[in-house]
């Protein structure tokens, strides 16, 4: 079976007033129907990875090298009509801020129907009935009435449900979710996560779920890839990452979680800030913040260890059974 996603040595560099090496040698593979969480802090390259997958980066200011195949389709070679068929048909995306990602002057029904008409070649009435069906599937109450409302008339949670309905309306093989719960209230977050998990089972599509919240990643995904400074520094099943994180950064993220912290105790934050990426990292980008860094870490990029199948860690000290805390 073809891999759902196969990214090889992807490099993305933004040119302009400031050069930013946003992605550096990213490789990533996903099987059909898998749910992967891309975990990392702001600026680590999560969203850039998603946008590259959809070919959404502005071509003039972006230099992209490497190979991206989705379901066997070479994404970088897509142009014009083929690219339009791929976007929304094969792969679709749920955005972080549903309030901004929906067009304010069209009804939500129209916005879903528009995509359906484009991809399924049906007339407006059929597309609207598909839209209605989708609103039902994302558990929007009295969907018939909501079909003709404008985005600003809905709550944040409802808007995100509409966004999900829109993304799934054409039955994509891969769903990209860019921090879909970040802009929502905590209670609504859980509902949206549960909904996404149910829909993923129902539709059987693969999901890449971008988040900076390790709790969310654990909740939703089978596999986790941790990104730092435009690189994937650790990847494994969710269980492996939680039980046996090897990279000091992943350990830091786990330790910084709020669970099991007594009142009044200082939180375990990772000191420092991620690098600016104006130059391509030539050594381990985490070394300046790393509690267990060695001289070699600052000399060259760390080798990638593969402790088991589809598990990898880009750290010199990953081979040590238990690194010093």
Partner 1 sequence: MLTYLIRRLILVLPVALGVSIICFLLVQIAPGDPLTAIMPVDATAEEQDAMRAAYGLDKPLPVQYAIWIGNLIQGDMGRSIATGRPVAGEVFGAVKNSLLLAVSAAVIAFPIGTALGFLAGYFRDTWVDRAVTAVSIAGVSVPNYWLGIVLVIIFSVNLSWLPSMGAGPGGSQDWSWDWLHMRHLVLPAVTLAVVPIGIVARTVRALAGDILNQDFVDALYAKGMSRFDVLRHVARNAAATALSVMGLQLGYLLGGSILIETVFNWPGSGFLLSNAIFQRDLPLLQGTILVLALFFVAMNLIVDVVQAAIDPRIQRT
Residue 102 found at the interface with partner 1 (CB under 8 A): yes
8 Å CB contact between 181 and 209: no
The span of 98-106, 179-187, 257-265, 309-317 binding partner 1 (CB under 8 A) equals 98-106
Residue partners of 178: CB distance under 8 A and separation at least 6:
46, 47, 50, 93, 94, 95, 96, 210
- Give the C-alpha separation, 171 to 90, whole Å: 8
Question: Which residue from 88, 109, 281, 302 is in contact with partner 1, where contact means CB under 8 A?
Answer: 88
Q: What x/- string results for residues 117 through 146 when contact with partner 1 is judged by CB under 8 A? A: -xx---------------------------
8 Å CB contact between 88 and 115: yes
Quick check: helix, strand or coil at residue 259? coil
Residue partners of 242: CB distance under 8 A and separation at least 6:
218, 254
The span of 113-121, 139-147, 206-214, 279-287 binding partner 1 (CB under 8 A) equals 113-121
Residue 103 found at the interface with partner 1 (CB under 8 A): yes
Q: Which is closer to partner 1, CB of 39 or CB of 93? A: 93
Q: What x/- string results for residues 46 through 85 when contact with partner 1 is judged by CB under 8 A? A: -----x--x-x---------------------------xx
Question: CA angle, corner 45, sides to 243 and 88, nearest 5?
Answer: 100
Question: Which residue from 93, 143, 195, 293 is in contact with partner 1, where contact means CB under 8 A?
Answer: 93
Token pair for 268 = 């375990």
- Give the C-alpha separation, 26 to 49, whole Å: 9
**Footprint of partner 1 on this chain (CB under 8 A)?**
51, 54, 56, 84-89, 92-93, 95, 97, 100-107, 114-115, 118-119, 150, 152, 166-167, 170
């Amino acid at each position: 079976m073809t891999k759902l996603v196969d990214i090889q040595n992807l490099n993305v560099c933004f040119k302009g007033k400031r050069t930013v090496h946003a992605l550096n040698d990213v490789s990533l593979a996903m099987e059909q129907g898998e749910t992967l969480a891309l975990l990392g802090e702001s600026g680590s390259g999560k969203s850039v990875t998603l946008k590259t997958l959809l070919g959404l980066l502005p071509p003039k200011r972006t230099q992209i090298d490497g190979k991206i195949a989705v379901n066997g389709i070479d994404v970088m070679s897509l142009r014009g009509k083929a690219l339009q068929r791929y976007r929304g048909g094969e792969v679709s995306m749920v955005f972080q801020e549903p309030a901004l990602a929906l067009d304010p002057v069209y009804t939500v029904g129209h916005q879903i129907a528009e995509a359906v008409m484009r991809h399924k070649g049906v007339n407006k009435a059929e597309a609207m009935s598909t839209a209605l069906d989708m609103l039902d599937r994302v558990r929007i109450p009295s969907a018939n009435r909501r079909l003709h409302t404008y985005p600003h008339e809905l709550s944040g949670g409802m808007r995100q449900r509409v966004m999900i309905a829109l993304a799934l309306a054409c039955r994509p093989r891969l769903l990209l979710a860019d921090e879909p719960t970040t802009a929502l209230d905590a209670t609504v977050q859980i509902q949206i996560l549960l909904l996404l998990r149910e829909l993923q089972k129902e539709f059987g599509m693969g999901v890449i779920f971008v988040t900076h919240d390790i709790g969310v990643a654990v909740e939703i995904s089978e596999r986790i890839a941790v990104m730092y400074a435009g690189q994937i520094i650790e990847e494994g099943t969710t269980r492996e990452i939680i039980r046996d994180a090897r990279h000091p950064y992943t350990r830091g993220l786990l330790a910084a979680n709020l669970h099991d912290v007594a009142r009044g105790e200082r939180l375990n934050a990772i000191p420092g800030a991620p690098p600016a990426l104006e130059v391509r990292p030539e050594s381990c980008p985490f070394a300046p913040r790393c509690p267990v860094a060695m001289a070699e870490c600052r000399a060259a990029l760390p080798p990638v260890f593969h402790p088991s199948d589809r598990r990898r860690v880009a750290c010199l000290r990953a081979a040590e059974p238990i690194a010093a805390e």
